[in-house]
Amino acid sequence: MECSRRAALTAGGAALALPLVGRASAHPEPYEPRDSVAVAGATEAVVGPDGTTVFVAATTGFAVVDASDPADLTVLAERRGILADRENGPLTGIHDVTVRGSRLAVVGPANAGSPSALLLYDVSDPANPVREAVYETEYPIHNCFLTDSHAYLTANHSDRRELAIVDVSGTPREVARWGAADENPAWLDVPGFLWSCHDVYVRNEVAYVAHWDAGTWLLDVSDPADPAVISHIAPHDPVDLADAPTRQGYELPGNHHYAAPNDDASVLAVNSEAWETTPEDDRTGGPGGITLYDITDPATPRELAHIPAPETADPGLRGTWTTSHNFELTDGRLYTSWYQGGVKLFDVRDPAEPFELAWWRQPAEAAFWTARAAEGCFVASSYAGVPDGARGALYAFPDHAGYQPDAPSLTATTTNATTTARNTTTTRPAGTTADTTESASSGSTPGFGVLAGLAGLAGLAGAAGVARWLGDEPNS
């Protein structure tokens, strides 16, 4: 690894002004999906380099959808029963796929289970995915990211929460492991579900690792075999969590669920997946939102703005879920999913003042897992597990400002769904250390397996169903 690169990445930077979150005025035309297509078990969705081919993780397999005409989504291929020939097969719990060029990575199970594996497919013909390689692991893989030469896998064991880096330029082989405990061994004294390595994104030789209550870490991976910390957005000191109750895994602050930069890596979005389990305590709870950071100097992330989750009459685990889930930050726009809270589109050309362009929700029909930019539209996957009766499907939405007439209310007291969204001002300490402390306004979300811990929360009905959704331990 070149020392000059790390030196540059850890250089100092300047503070920016802090923001307001706004909302666009109503668009005269009704805002609604262009089309949707059923995909059983749909979870994550990613868009191929052509902008029109969508790959959908589907719990028991994956699907490929043609979105070249957003008004006529078409399933091109499905693969189910993957690794059915293996002991304890087939592979299930497939909650993530990632694509790079003509190569697709499929991983699972998201939570504890067997077999566990990374699979690589040639998708140069999207209608005929061809399996190229299988890399079996001893750990579940909740999420992954694929570059030209390496796969980055979440690797959560009973005693360690880590990122595994696998060279996939030939026969897949692991070249490195990294986790928060490598930087601070005090994390080893914290219950594992509180600091799961939940997700990873890689751009320009920097990995952005969402590590739940251990926060978000920026790693220099110019040498993937030797990852090194650039900076850390820290919601907690591990010493304060050694005896934390189970509910800590569901509530703010913390719960860093996904982190991804914009196109030039000058702005970082970090979301939190969180619920309210202690309504008597206004200092914590949920739902979690999305926080934007200036990372023009990646060594000193500085908070710019916080986008709160849609308000809900019941932010608890038994209520209407409006916490943030997966998103995409690209081309001056932020495409966001909020489970039953729907999808929202923001103009973030000025990241200090995110501007809401459109919001669509139908909480009895759809619970959105992700939102992704595509050619002439954006796509969003709906997960059938929240609420009961929601569709497993892929939707296509207009990529412009709009207004949903007769939008369902998410709150008991709101009768007009077009009321102006709350403006939220955020603040950021002026320090310039590599460890950035997350402000109390920042939201976060439970990582992989989070809801499984519900069984340990007394008085929460429906815990068994939520546990089945997320697996054996907190973090989704």
pLDDT of residue 418: 32
Sign, Cα dihedral of 390, 314, 270, 209: negative
Q: Is the pLDDT of residue 414 over 50?
A: no
Mean pLDDT, range 289-299, rounded to an integer: 99
pLDDT of residue 448: 41
pLDDT of residue 27: 55
Q: DSSP string covering 31-45, please?
A: ---SEEEE-TT---E
pLDDT digits (tens, 9 = 90+) for 446-474: 344 444 333 333 333 333 333 333 333 44
User: What is the pTM (predicted TM-score) of this model?
Assistant: 0.86
Residue 281, C-beta contacts closer than 8 angstroms, at least 6 positions apart: none
Domain-located, residue 476: no
Q: Is the pLDDT of residue 387 over 90?
A: no
pLDDT of residue 138: 95
Q: Is the pLDDT of residue 441 over 80?
A: no
pLDDT of residue 23: 52
Q: Nearest to residue 449, comparing CAs of 118, 135, 145, 191?
A: 191
Residue 54, C-beta contacts closer than 8 angstroms, at least 6 positions apart: 45, 46, 47, 48, 64, 65, 66, 67, 372, 374, 379, 394
Q: Is the pLDDT of residue 88 over 50?
A: yes
Q: Which one is predicted more confidently, 459 or 203? A: 203
pLDDT digits (tens, 9 = 90+) for 226-259: 999 999 999 999 999 999 998 899 999 999 999 9
pLDDT of residue 279: 78
pLDDT of residue 469: 31
Mean pLDDT, range 363-384, rounded to an integer: 98
pLDDT of residue 24: 52
Q: Nearest to residue 328, comparing CAs of 283, 275, 278, 268?
A: 268
Torsions phi, psi of 209, nearest 5?
-110, 115
Q: Which one is predicted more confidently, 12 or 26? A: 26
pLDDT of residue 28: 66
Domain-located, residue 475: no
Task: Write the CA distances from 80 to 39, 83, 106, 129, integer angstroms.
Answer: 12, 9, 12, 12
Percent of the chain at pLDDT > 70 equals 80
pLDDT digits (tens, 9 = 90+) for 92-121: 999 999 999 999 999 999 999 889 999 999
Paired with 131 in beta bridges are: 121
Domain-located, residue 7: no
Domain-located, residue 1: no
Burial of 263 (0-12, 13-18, 19+ CB in 10 A): exposed
Domain-located, residue 11: no
Q: Is the pLDDT of residue 17 over 50?
A: no
CB 438 within 8 A of CB 233: yes
pLDDT of residue 437: 52
The domain containing residue 43 runs over which residues? 16-470
Task: Write the CA distances from 458 to 275, 440, 462, integer angstroms.
Answer: 15, 26, 11
pLDDT digits (tens, 9 = 90+) for 309-367: 999 999 999 899 999 999 999 999 999 999 999 999 999 999 999 999 999 999 999 99
pLDDT of residue 46: 99
Q: Is the pLDDT of residue 128 over 80?
A: yes
Domain-located, residue 2: no
Residue type, 83: L
Which strand ranges, in their side-by-side order, compose the sheet holding 267-272? 256-261, 267-272, 290-294, 302-307
Q: Is the pLDDT of residue 283 over 80?
A: no
pLDDT digits (tens, 9 = 90+) for 330-343: 999 999 999 999 99
Q: Is the pLDDT of residue 9 over 90?
A: no
Average pLDDT, the chain: 85
pLDDT of residue 285: 87
Domain-located, residue 317: yes
Q: How far apart are CA 224 and CA 232, in angstroms?
A: 19
- The count of structural domains within the chain is 1
The pairing of beta strand 435-437 with beta strand 161-167:
unpaired
Confidence of residue 159 (pLDDT cuts 50, 70, 90): confident
Confidence of residue 435 (pLDDT cuts 50, 70, 90): low
Residue type, 193: F
Q: Is the pLDDT of residue 21 over 90?
A: no
pLDDT of residue 281: 73
Q: Is the pLDDT of residue 276 over 50?
A: yes
What CATH number corresponds to the domain at position 452? 2.130.10.10
pLDDT of residue 432: 30
Q: Is the pLDDT of residue 428 over 50?
A: no
Domain-located, residue 8: no
Confidence of residue 475 (pLDDT cuts 50, 70, 90): very low
Is the peptide bond prior to 235 cis by the omega test (within 30 degrees of 0)? no
CA angle, 50 as apex, 390 and 399 as ends, to 5°?
55
In 159-296, where does DSSP find H-type helix?
A: 180-183
